[in-house]
Structure 1
Amino acid sequence: MIKKGITRQIVLHYFIVVFLALLLVEFVFMLAVQRYYYESIYNTISTHISNSKDFFEPLARESNTEDGKNLSKLLVNLALDNTELEILDLNSHVLASSTAFESDRAVLQTSDIQQALNGGMGRWVGRQPGTGEQVMAVSHKFDLGGENTYVIRYLTSLENVNSKLLFMGMLAIVVGVGVLAIVLIISIGMANSIVRPINNITAVSAQMARGRLDVRVKGNYKHELGELASTLNFMAHEIVRSNQIKDDFISSISHELRTPLTSIKGWSETLDSGGYDPDETRIGMGIISKETERLIGLVEEMLDFSKLQQNQMKLVKGTVSIREIVQETMLNVWAKAEQKQIHLKLESDENRAFNVFGDGNRLKQVFLNLVDNAIKFSHENSWIFLTVKEEEGQILASVQDTGIGISEEHLIKVRDRFFQVNHQNGGTGLGLAITQELVELHDGTITMQSELGTGTTVTVSLPALPEYETVEDPILQNDETEVTLDPKLTQAESDQKKF
């Protein structure tokens, strides 16, 4: 007995479908064979009747013999092997039979006789009264001239034919049982070929659920099962990698938090002890302030990432000039760039603002992160080029450095959360992940091109606003967007460019 499950369902479905198909085919086959045999018998008798009628009726009219002699001639000349010949009058009484001469017999009332009296070739299949034997009767009217008109009726047994049909039916049943047995074996094998891999995958996934992420689905499975196994293995690999990244992040952030806290604690205790001149006190307070800002930056970065992950980041959008944001970013990082003697250069059309619809503070955060990374990984006395331009309705802002670059292996992972190319450089590994999320919230994209030892180019693409349009934050305006159009435009042009 097949236990409940997919195996039973597959086997039952295949078995039922094939069984019903075989039942239909065998029924149609037996019906066709029976019809063929019965039609063959009928055609043989009807052909014999037609030929005999064409030959015998003219001769009988010319001879004009007595009724008794006509019956004898009919019995002799119309006889057919393996059939009983009966001659009936127009009142359906049997006048003579090839088995014996009979009269005053009961009236026959089968349908073939009535059809013959109506001028057609009558046929009837049924059981012979008295014997119960199944027979076929074929009747036709013979006109021998004058009052000598008779119904010629041939009667043949169907027992031999039915025996052959029964044998063929039993043979068909045996073949059907054999086919069903083969289908059962094949369907069980097919079901097992599907269920066995599923059981294997289920067992492996159960081990993964219990924390054993080192196990993998083994086996060269094909089609959807192969894809499922590959996906499960990839999932386990990604979980292991994510756990490793998480562990590295915890280690890194612990170090990042411990270093400023140690400095703050040390200088706090030192200052608390007193006895230091004002210069040392000022230096200590500066270090405490700097390390506090660093801690605040780390905490804010993690809070921003948490908000982005939970879709709780709120943007205050309006018309923002990307060129102005990039200029402000350069001013903010100028002191840090000077420490490494790095030169910043902006390449942009001074007569254009390059407006976008977005949150100015968040977009500034994006470019601060990108330029800060460029400074961090650039060599001393190098250049960083910032470019702002418009192409095909998109504002493209690029940050290009000539620093250490990123390898192809790390380039595809560098925007993953918690990922750091070099853990010794500090940070949480969330900067680029947050940057990408913020750009996507502005319906933009961020692309990176880098070559190890040559430098990196990061390009932010944002939908551009036409120079003559300014848009206020729709949230603050109750979903009403304010649009200012260039007064030089005609009324028709203004109507076309409103949105």
Structure 2
Amino acid sequence: MIKKGIGRQIVMHYFIVVFVTLFMVELIFSLAIRMYYYDTIYNHMSNHTTWASDYFQKFVKLNADNDPHYFTEMLDAFELKDTELLILNRKGNVKASSNPFQDEKAIQTSDVLQAASGSVGKWIGRQPSTGEMVMAVSSPLQVRGENAYIVRYVTSLEAVNSKMMNLTLLSSAVCVAVLALVTLFSIGLANSIVKPINNIRAVSAQLAKGKFDTRIEGEYRYELGELASTLNYMAQEIVRSNQIKDDFISSISHELRTPLTGIKGWSETLTSGGFDPDETKIGMNIISKETDRLIGLVEEMLDFSKLQQNEMKLVIGRVKLQELLKEIMLNVWAKAEKKQIQIKLDDQMDKPITVIGDANRLKQVFLNLVDNAIKFSHENSWIHLVINPISAEQVQIEVVDSGIGISEENLSRVRDRFFQVNHQGGGTGLGLAISQQLVELHHGKMDIRSELGAGTTVSVTLPMPIHDPENRDEEVEQMNSEDQN
């Protein structure tokens, strides 16, 4: 007995479909066999009655009712093997019969009534005297164009019905055998489906308990194979995410501890007193710098949280791209100067470029990209900011550096949250993830190309406003509306 579940459902569905199909086939087969045998018997008897009606003209005799030998001669002439022959008058009374035990009552079956009206009639039913199933075929015999007598052939259907019953039982046995084979096949099919499902379910239960090193073993085909691969991939990603989370916690703990240690140390030192104004000023500057660093870390995590929860709101307006990039260059100038890195704006346009977006968020994106380029560039190297219009509706900004580059293995993961190529470089590992999402909020695209030891190029594609001044405000309102939704 198959236990309750999807396996039983598969077997039951197969069983019901095949059972109904075989039942319909058996029913149609039985009706076809019955029609074939009955029609064959009827056609044989009907043809003989037609012949008898035509041949009867040789026996036409006036006042035949007064000649007892007349009907006997008709019986001898019209007899048909394995049938009972009756000669009736128009009222159904028996004038002569090949059966000596024939009841003398008038016969009023449908075949006699049809013959009396001038057509060949057929009747199937039980013989009143014997109770057996018979078929009767009657045809009129005409004298001078009028129906004078009726010739009626009656044959038993018991032998035919017995043969049809045997054929029906044989076909039913075949159907039962087919149904049994299909049931066994469906059980095997159900097991082939249910077994991997149970395996996948067991592994899923282990994953739900936190055993993320569990994997689905075996090669499954089609959708089950895809499901198994998806669950294995999910487990792998969970393990990776947990590792990234652990690395992030370790990194952020270090990032928070460093400025807090500096703030605490200088606060206690300054509190003890006895320092000259210059030393006090140095301590206060360190406290202010580390505080800004803490604020930056907290804001970065808050921004990421807002992006994950789709709560980031943009203040959309027209942003002058060249001015934005020049402002960023001024912001990072001091940091670049320490490493003797030259930052250059390579503008391919002869006129100012305007994009539609949030100036502060776009500044955050490019500031992060340039800051990363400085962080991972060698001393005495260069960084280029390239503005390149790629169509009338889009502009591409590239941040190109000649730094250490990114390996092919890390390049596909560098935009993942909490991922850091170099854990010693500091940071939360959220910068590129936030930048990616901010660019997408501006209906743009960010691509990264890099070669280890040769440098990195980050391309940001942003939409440009329609040149028709009358439509610019409408475009700003549309982006604001999309952002709110």
Q: Same fold (TM over 0.5)?
A: yes
Q: Residue in 1 aligned with 2:444?
A: 444
The AA in structure 2 aligned to 1:459 is S
Q: Residue in 1 aligned with 2:331?
A: 332
Give the conservation status (yes or no) of the 8 Å contact 1:316–1:473: no
Question: Does 2:93 match 1:93?
Answer: yes
Q: Structure 1 residues 243, 146: closer, same or farther in 2, change over 3 A?
A: closer
Question: Does 2:38 match 1:4?
Answer: no
Give the conservation status (yes or no) of the 8 Å contact 1:400–1:458: yes
SS at match of 2:322: helix
Which range moves more in the overlay, 146-155 or 71-80?
146-155
The AA in structure 2 aligned to 1:120 is S
Give the conservation status (yes or no) of the 8 Å contact 1:134–1:159: yes
SS at match of 1:462: strand
The Cα of 1:443 is off from its aligned counterpart by: 1.1
* Match runs of 1:241-256 below 5 Å: 241-256=240-255
Q: Structure 1 residues 382, 93: closer, same or farther in 2, change over 3 A?
A: same
Question: Does 2:405 match 1:405?
Answer: yes
Which whole-Å deviations, capped at 9, do the CAs of 1:148-170 have from their partners, x for residues lacking one? 93211111000001111111222
TM-score (norm 1): 0.90
| Distance in 2 separating the partners of 1:290 and 1:70 | 140
Give the conservation status (yes or no) of the 8 Å contact 1:67–1:148: no
Q: Residue in 1 aligned with 2:32?
A: 32
The Cα of 1:144 is off from its aligned counterpart by: 5.2
Which whole-Å deviations, capped at 9, do the CAs of 1:10-29 have from their partners, x for residues lacking one? 22221112111111111111
Question: Does 2:293 match 1:294?
Answer: yes
Q: Residue in 2 aligned with 1:435?
A: 435
Give the conservation status (yes or no) of the 8 Å contact 1:264–1:291: yes
* Match runs of 1:133-172 below 5 Å: 133-143=132-142, 149-172=148-171
| Distance in 2 separating the partners of 1:310 and 1:241 | 22
| Distance in 1 separating the partners of 2:312 and 2:145 | 115
Q: Structure 1 residues 155, 282: closer, same or farther in 2, change over 3 A?
A: same
Q: Residue in 1 aligned with 2:260?
A: 261
Give the conservation status (yes or no) of the 8 Å contact 2:316–2:476: yes
The AA in structure 1 aligned to 2:376 is F
Question: Does 2:273 match 1:274?
Answer: yes
Q: Which ranges of structure 1 fall in alignment gaps of 5 or more residues?
A: 480-499
SS at match of 2:14: helix
The AA in structure 2 aligned to 1:333 is V
| Distance in 1 separating the partners of 2:28 and 2:82 | 29
Give the conservation status (yes or no) of the 8 Å contact 2:465–2:475: no
SS at match of 1:316: coil
Q: Residue in 2 aligned with 1:209?
A: 208
The Cα of 1:281 is off from its aligned counterpart by: 2.6
Q: Residue in 2 aligned with 1:49?
A: 49
The AA in structure 1 aligned to 2:212 is L
Give the conservation status (yes or no) of the 8 Å contact 1:139–1:152: yes
Give the conservation status (yes or no) of the 8 Å contact 2:319–2:359: yes
The AA in structure 1 aligned to 2:17 is V
Give the conservation status (yes or no) of the 8 Å contact 1:415–1:432: yes
| Distance in 1 separating the partners of 2:83 and 2:324 | 112
Q: Structure 1 residues 444, 336: closer, same or farther in 2, change over 3 A?
A: same
Give the conservation status (yes or no) of the 8 Å contact 1:340–1:381: yes
Give the conservation status (yes or no) of the 8 Å contact 1:402–1:454: yes
Q: Structure 1 residues 186, 410: closer, same or farther in 2, change over 3 A?
A: same
TM-score (norm 2): 0.93
Q: Residue in 1 aligned with 2:422?
A: 422
- The runs of 4+ residues in structure 1 deviating greater than 6 Å are 62-66, 472-476
Which range moves more in the overlay, 162-171 or 92-101?
92-101
Which range moves more in the overlay, 239-248 or 314-323?
314-323
Q: Structure 1 residues 156, 466: closer, same or farther in 2, change over 3 A?
A: closer
Give the conservation status (yes or no) of the 8 Å contact 1:355–1:467: no
Q: Residue in 1 aligned with 2:230?
A: 231
| Distance in 2 separating the partners of 1:79 and 1:222 | 73
Q: Residue in 2 aligned with 1:394?
A: 394
Q: Residue in 2 aligned with 1:494?
A: none
The Cα of 1:190 is off from its aligned counterpart by: 1.4
Which whole-Å deviations, capped at 9, do the CAs of 1:299-334 have from their partners, x for residues lacking one? 111111111111221211111111111110011111
Which whole-Å deviations, capped at 9, do the CAs of 1:260-290 have from their partners, x for residues lacking one? 2222222222233333333333322222222
| Distance in 1 separating the partners of 2:67 and 2:461 | 116
| Distance in 1 separating the partners of 2:177 and 2:305 | 66
Q: Residue in 2 aligned with 1:69?
A: 69
Which range moves more in the overlay, 414-423 or 18-27?
18-27
| Distance in 1 separating the partners of 2:259 and 2:77 | 130
The Cα of 1:416 is off from its aligned counterpart by: 0.5
Give the conservation status (yes or no) of the 8 Å contact 2:118–2:139: yes
Q: Residue in 2 aligned with 1:482?
A: none
Give the conservation status (yes or no) of the 8 Å contact 1:404–1:453: yes
| Distance in 1 separating the partners of 2:464 and 2:228 | 45
Give the conservation status (yes or no) of the 8 Å contact 2:139–2:150: yes
| Distance in 1 separating the partners of 2:384 and 2:68 | 131
Q: Residue in 1 aligned with 2:219?
A: 220
| Distance in 2 separating the partners of 1:353 and 1:318 | 16
Give the conservation status (yes or no) of the 8 Å contact 1:95–1:101: no
Q: Residue in 1 aligned with 2:81?
A: 81
Which whole-Å deviations, capped at 9, do the CAs of 1:178-219 have from their partners, x for residues lacking one? 122112211111112111111111111111111100001111
Which range moves more in the overlay, 225-234 or 265-274?
265-274
The Cα of 1:91 is off from its aligned counterpart by: 1.8
Which range moves more in the overlay, 363-372 or 343-352?
343-352
The AA in structure 2 aligned to 1:36 is Y
Which whole-Å deviations, capped at 9, do the CAs of 1:67-99 have from their partners, x for residues lacking one? 433312211111111111111112211011112
| Distance in 2 separating the partners of 1:468 and 1:372 | 36
Give the conservation status (yes or no) of the 8 Å contact 1:317–1:473: no
SS at match of 1:29: helix
SS at match of 1:347: strand
Q: Residue in 2 aligned with 1:483?
A: none
| Distance in 1 separating the partners of 2:318 and 2:221 | 54
**Root mean square deviation of aligned Cα:** 2.4
The Cα of 1:390 is off from its aligned counterpart by: 2.0
The Cα of 1:391 is off from its aligned counterpart by: 2.1
| Distance in 2 separating the partners of 1:118 and 1:35 | 26
Question: Does 2:316 match 1:303?
Answer: no
Which range moves more in the overlay, 300-309 or 30-39?
300-309
